Chain A
Amino acid sequence: MNLDANPAPAALAAYDDPGIVAGPPRGGFRAMLRRLWRHRSGKIGGGLVLLIIFCAIFAPWIAPYDPLKLAMLDRLQPPSLAHPFGTDELGRDLLSRVIYGTRYMILVSVVSTGIAATGGIFLGLLAAAGGRWTDLLVMRLVDIMLAFPYILLLLAVIAILGPSLITALVAVGIAAMPGFARLVRGETLSVRESEYVEAMRVLGAGTLRITFRTILPNIASPLIIYASYTMPLAVLSAAALSFLGLGAQPPLPEWGAMLVQSRSFLRTSTWVVAAPGFAIFFAIIGLNLLGNALRDVLDPKART
């Protein structure tokens, strides 16, 4: 796990060289979906992600037990017909907790990436569209955020806001903003120079219109790809925060917290650790595979 939510896809080196060419996906949106459908590992990744979404939506119907109900008499039961994943140290059914945990998984990945993307897009657009001084100021702010040790930034935000799952997500989101900001700025600059933007300007379109009609849709591809990188990292960062005792509070069936709270059972009752551990593992593999597939499909240069 790379504990830095600002990953470095080959594309994002210096500010001025975005690498991924901004623009609509080759052949249009439908063609992209078709390519995604045919992508082998993308199917596996997509399947895993869909499974998670399905569990999250239908959890109350498919989970066999109440994930929060204690049953001290049944604590630490190995996997059986009654409890396919076994029970944890307080007697709760692990399968049900894993199923409900998909909700937190989605919450963590979507909310923190959403916060990061929103803030990042705002900063990036501001830097690209504003004057030279705005650009300088905003980018220095981004540099400051990047130079700040990642874990300490998370811990500081949580220390200010108080520990809970939501504050953990906010912290991870804030820490991931600089990466998005840089990306958006770079892509926006390159699109701005492109021909059809020139054309629109010549035709008299205002800046705001240009921004929303043209720039945003065209930077969507690199944004989606970048988001697919940051989502798994957000999940792992949230798990690391649980490791430090912050983040999701008991008894929430958030996989990271479950993993951390049960780690003393690694040798004696392995299933208590294995259930959330493999859940995180497969969820992240799914996200990563999907991300790879999206990149292959959206980025004309990266066809391998």
Chain B
Amino acid sequence: MRRFVRPILMVPVFVAGITAALPAMAQTVNLRLGEDPESLYNVQTNSLTANGVINYVLERLVYIDQSGTPQPWLSSGWTVSDDQTQITFTLREGLTFTDGTPFDPAAVVAHFNTVLDPAVASPQLATQGPLTSVEATGPMTVVFTYSEPFAPAFNALSGVGAGINSPTAVAAAGSDYARMPVGTGAFIVEQWIPGTSITLVRNDDFHEQFRSDIQNPGPAHVERIVLNVITEEGVAQAALETGELSAAALQADAIAQFVDNPDFQTIINKSSGNLTFLEFNQQTAPFDDARVRMAIGHAIDRDAAVMAAWDGYAQAAFGPLSAAIPGYDQAVVDELGTPYDPEKALALFAEAGWTDSDGDGILDKDGAAASFTILSYAGFTSIDRTLQVIQANLADIGVPVDLQTSDWGAFYPSLLEDGWDMDLMRWTWDDADVLNQIYAGDGHRDKLTPNADIDNILNRCSTTMEPAARLSCVSDAQRALLENMTAVPILTNWEVVAVQSNISGYGFDHAGYLLATDIKVE
């Protein structure tokens, strides 16, 4: 008897020793926010920064997996009505929000009714397209009704804007809800120090993981994530070097010093859905002429822009959709894209009536010399450098252009006015519906000449729910847009993130959001 006492007594000490060591492993991860979000209530905002934060807290009915296919998340499945205007979701049972409120049809209906309410004026409203009503039709079923078939519906419902908030928390907190949202997600907002940081803690009662793109079957490995507001790129880089940041997305210039550094891993996310492109004010000559637009397309050395603006961490784009978006058709792009060919550019300009008739090195037509402006937004070296490459390229073929940048808040609305020629724009999206947003009708800035063919195709794409048929339609849309050269695509950049080498599991989903529950600190 006595012989076994000592080993038995050892066991509790041994166990105590291990449990004492455990908390040290579930540590804190420090990430970076480029700016303080204006609000964490997804009804009030649609900005990338806010969405990135809200993504930790709220979950949606569906998610898009790595192959681009919608999958059930908080729903367990759905059916689409015969006329394609209604989607009925069956919700998963037994889930609760972190404040104890049960997750049920009432919660889903409450969220979408708020979004749909015109008095609320939510920026999310337009994302949901022709959605007209959301109703509970059973103990665990909800029906979404649209005024016409909406092909991007699942994509819209997978976005952070469709994240379900706890209705009791929304009602109780009133205008303070924007400071502390409550959802069903793997993290809870613990504290928001305005302008400085947002601290998220692990939801220990997190339900089982329903997503197939996440390895971790349960609650997050890390205990705490602190999102630090750092506006200056140089400071973010420095913080990464000193270890104050666990990971951060890098600008092209900074990548070099982290790539070969054994203390860091660099993750390059090539599935980013984004496009930097040159748009035209088609209501002023000569940009109403497709040949001029195509000529400009041939005049631009995209590889130079890729090197200058992104240090090579980007790819030249020749089509209106970026390569990672389902529906991108490489064959169409190869056939109709405008590779760098200054000779061809000059030939097309000549066809349109622009030649250097007086030998001064500048193209002219009807006695007027070429001189145009490109507008864009300030504050991003990648945009600045892309602009300068474009300017130099155009100057080489005899088309002098002036550059003019201003704050985004001034630039974007100013495009609705007259008096501009071209602008350099960039979108970030993960669905082919972006083509509708930008090019349907007279375009997102009211400056395109409406083209019936393009509009028909775009409308078809948007109302074709059947996936294969929709993809084929999207291919047609790319063809039509390239034949018209409505805008000149320039490049798609890849997101590059440097992560401390003691961190594993750092990865992104199809939409580019962080899969935070997989992160482990060693």
Question: What's the nearest-Cβ distance from chain A to residue B276, in Å?
Answer: 16
- B115 CB to nearest A CB, Å: 32
B381-421 residues with Cβ-Cβ distance < 8 A to A are: 381, 384-385, 387-389, 391-392, 395, 402-407, 410
Contact status of A70 and B392, CB under 8 A, knowing A159-B410, A163-B378, A163-B406: yes
Query: Given the interface contacts A70-B392, A72-B307, A268-B257, does A251 sit within 8 Å of B381 by beta carbon?
Result: no
Complex Cα spacing A145 to B84, Å:
63
Inter-chain contact B388/A90, CB cutoff 8 Å: yes
Please give, as numbers and ranges, the residues of chain A lying within 8 Å of B407 by CB-CB distance.
245
CA distance A164 to B251 in the complex (A): 25
A265 at the interface (CB under 8 A from B): yes
Contact A70 B388 (CB under 8 A): yes
A245 and B237 CA atoms in complex are apart in Å by: 20
Q: Is B233 part of the contact surface with A, judged by Cβ < 8 Å? A: yes
Within 8 A of B (CB), among A226-271: 245-246, 249-251, 261, 263-268
Nearest-neighbor residue (CB-CB) of B393 within chain A: A70
- A-side contacts of B193, CB under 8 Å: none
Contact (Cβ within 8 A) A249 B253 = no
For the complex of A and B, list the 5 residue pairs with the smallest distance between their C-beta atoms, beginning with the closest: A245-B378, A264-B253, A70-B392, A245-B379, A72-B304
Q: Given A251-B403, A261-B381, answer yes or no on A70-B234 (Cβ-Cβ < 8 Å).
A: no
In angstroms, how far is the closest chain A Cβ from the Cβ of B511?
28
B254: chain A residues at CB < 8 Å are: 264
- Contacting residues of chain A (45-77) with chain B, CB-CB under 8 angstroms: 68-70, 72, 75
Residues of B near A250 (CB, < 8 A) are 384-385, 387-388, 403, 405
Instruction: Decide if A89 touches B405 in the complex (CB within 8 Å).
Output: no
| B256 adjacent to chain A (CB < 8 Å) | yes
**13 pairs of residues in contact across A and B, judged by CB atoms under 8 Å:** A69-B392, A90-B385, A162-B404, A245-B405, A249-B402, A249-B403, A250-B385, A250-B387, A251-B392, A264-B233, A264-B234, A265-B253, A266-B234
Question: Could you give, for residues 162-206 of chain A, a 1 whenever the CB lies within 8 Å of some chain B CB and a 0 otherwise?
Answer: 111000000000000000000000000000000000000000000
Cβ-based interface call for B140 (8 A) = no
CA distance A84 to B388 in the complex (A): 23
Q: Across the interface, do A72 and B308 meet the contact criterion of CB distance under 8 Å?
A: yes
Note all chain B residues with C-beta closer than 8 A to A68.
392, 395
What is the interface of chain B, defined by CB distance below 8 A to chain A? 233-234, 237, 251, 253-254, 256-257, 301, 304, 307-308, 378-379, 381, 384-385, 387-389, 391-392, 395, 402-407, 410
- Residues of A near B308 (CB, < 8 A) are 70, 72, 75, 89-90
A264's contact among B251, B387, B405, by CB below 8 Å, is which? B251
Which of B234, B384, B389, B395 has a CB less than 8 Å from the CB of A261?
B384
Could you tell me the distance in whole angstroms from the C-beta of B144 to the nearest C-beta in chain A? Answer: 42
A270 to chain B, nearest CB (A): 13
In the docked arrangement, what's the CA distance between A268 and B384, Å? 20
Evaluate whether A89 and B234 lie within 8 angstroms (CB atoms) in the complex, with A163-B406, A245-B378 already known: no
Of A164, A251, A265, the most chain B CB neighbours within 10 A belong to A251
* Across-interface contacts of A162 in B (CB, < 8 A): 404, 406, 410
A89/B404 in contact, CB under 8 A = no
A162 to B404, CA, bound (A): 9
Q: How far is the CA of A261 from the CA of B383 in the complex (A)?
A: 11
Chain B residues, Cβ within 8 Å of A72: 301, 304, 307-308, 389
Q: Is the CB of A163 within 8 A of B256?
A: no
Instruction: Using CB atoms, name the residue of chain B closest to A266.
Output: B234
Of all chain A residues, the one with the shortest Cβ separation from B233 is A264
Contacts A70-B392, A90-B385, A250-B384 given; does A268 touch B404 at CB 8 Å: no
- Bound Cα distance A68, B404 (Å): 16
Report how far A265 CA is from B252 CA in the complex, Å: 10
Instruction: Give complex CA distance A257, B156 in Å.
Output: 41
> Chain B contacts of A163 at CB under 8 A?
378, 404-406
The residues of A that contact B381 with a CB separation of less than 8 Å are 261, 264
B177: min CB distance to chain A, Å: 32
The distance in angstroms between the C-alpha atoms of A84 and B395, with both chains bound, is 26
Residues of A within 8 A of B402 (CB): 249
Set of chain A residues within 8 Å of B251, measured between Cβ atoms: 264
A 147-170 to B, binary, CB cutoff 8 A, 1 in contact else 0: 000000000000100111000000
Cα-based distance from A164 to B403 in the complex (angstroms):
10
CA gap between A267 and B258 in the complex, in Å: 12
Interface contact B257-A249, CB-CB below 8 Å: no
Cα distance A72–B385 in the bound complex, in angstroms: 11
- Known contacts A70-B389, A249-B403; 14 additional CB pairs below 8 A are A70-B304, A89-B308, A90-B308, A90-B385, A90-B392, A163-B405, A163-B406, A245-B379, A250-B387, A250-B405, A251-B391, A264-B234, A264-B251, A268-B253
Q: How far is the CB of A12 from chain B (nearest CB, A)?
A: 35
